[in-house]
Amino acid sequence: MKYTLLFFFLIALSCNPVKKKTEPKKEIKVEENVFEKKDMKNDKRKEKAKTHSNLLLVLKNPNNVTDAKALIENSSLIWEDLIIDKNTLKVASIKVPIERKEFWIERLKLSNVFTLIDENTEEKIAYIKHTSENTFVKISKTHCSGDCPVYDVTLFKDGKLVFNGIENVNIKGLKEFTVSEKKMKKIEEMFHKTSFGTYLDNYVDKSIMDYPSTFITYNDKQIEIKLWKNVPEELAFAYETLEDVLYENKLLE
C-alpha cells in the first residue's frame, strides 16, 4: 500500500511540470531611431543653408534677363529663379556666400544692372509689389563714357518722388519729397498725351556704345532711349517735365 501511494504521487508530479519564468521582452525603440535620423538630416540641411545667403535683385532693364543671369553665374554666384516675372518688373532670387554677402551687395550695386539688391524676405517682396502697383512713372539713367548723371527716380501716384543718386549728381543716395499738386497734374497730363503703348520698345543705335541709356517705365511698358532724335515729341516733352522737377530741387545740375 505504501508503495502504491508513492507511485501515484510521482505520477501527479510529472503531470504538473514547473513553469519557467520568462523575462519580459525588451522594447525596440525604432521610432526614436527614425526621429534621430530625421533630426540629423535636418541639422545637416541647416548647416548647408547657413553657407549661403538669399538675395533679391530687381532688374533695371526687364528685357535683359539673359545678361543679368550671365553676370550672376559668371561671378560664381547661384541664380535661382525669377520670383516676379512681369513686363516691367523682373525680380530674381540668387544665393551668395554668407561670409561675403556685404561684398557682393556692393559689387552688384556697382554693376548698375539692378535697381534694388536686398535680403530675400516675404516683407521685401510685398514691398516691391506694392511699390510697382503704386508707381506712376519711373526713370533710370545709366553710365556713359563721360560725366553723365546716373540715377533712378520713381514718381508715385500720390505725388511722392523717390530719387536715388548714383554718380555725377548733386545728391548721392536716397532723397524723398512730395511734388506739388500743380506740378503733379502737369506731369500726368504730359504722359497721358503720349501714345506710350504704341511706341517702339527702344530707340537705340547699336553702333553707338558711349551714350547713356534712359529707361522710362509707364503703363506696364518700358522704353529704352539712347538717341533722342527719333523719339516722339510727346514722349520727349513728358520726360522733360519730370526732369525739370529734379533740376528745381537741385538734384541735378
pTM above 0.75, yes or no: no
Rounded alpha-carbon distances, angstroms, from residue 28 to 25, 42, 45: 9, 24, 28
Cβ contacts of 217 within 8 Å, gap of 6 or more: 88, 135, 137, 138, 139, 140, 223
CB 137 within 8 A of CB 184: no
Looking at domain 134-253, its CATH architecture is 2-Layer Sandwich (3.30)
Fold assignment, 50-133: Alpha-Beta Plaits (3.30.70)
Query: Which pLDDT score is estimated for 14?
Result: 53
Per DSSP, 112 falls in state: T
pLDDT above 80 for 105:
yes
Query: Which pLDDT score is estimated for 112?
Result: 82
Domain ranges of the chain: 50-133, 134-253
**Binning pLDDT at 50, 70 and 90, where does residue 208 land?**
confident
Least-confidence region, from 15-29, 123-137, 139-153 = 15-29
Least Cα distance to 164 among 179, 142, 180 occurs for: 142
Q: Do domains 50-133 and 134-253 have the same CATH topology?
A: no
